[in-house]
Homo-oligomer: A and B are copies of this chain.
Amino acid sequence: MIDDNVVFIGNKPIMNYVLAVNTQFSGGVKEVVVKARGKAISRAVDVVEIVRNRFITEAKLKDITIGTEEITTKEGTLLKLSSIEIILEK
């Protein structure tokens, strides 16, 4: 999987990410991976649902995986964060 196919969900307005996914598909890729951690997980599901219900209705959910990532903060403490990876396929 090349990085170009990945859309990482952060704190920007949700339609920014919807547009990013749509742009990937318009560019000709067959799969887009939507990734998120922590509280952004809900937003990742929103993005995928908006894309496939409103914009690219032929897109299918290929796979959904969840996991736990360990992140070291600037202060040096270890943080465990849930993560999600949703693969959309056209």
Binding site for B on A (CB under 8 A): 38-42, 45-46, 48-49, 53, 61, 64-68, 82-84, 86
Contact = CB atoms under 8 A, between A and B. Distances in A.
Given A42-B40, A45-B82, A66 B64 contact: yes
Contacts of A41: 41-42, 45
Contacts of A82: 42, 45-46, 49
A86 B84 CA distance: 12
Contacts of A84: 45
A46 B82 CA distance: 6
A66 B45 CA distance: 7
A61 B46 CA distance: 22
Nearest to A45: B82
Contact of A66 (B38, B61, B67): B61
Contacts of A49: 66-68, 82
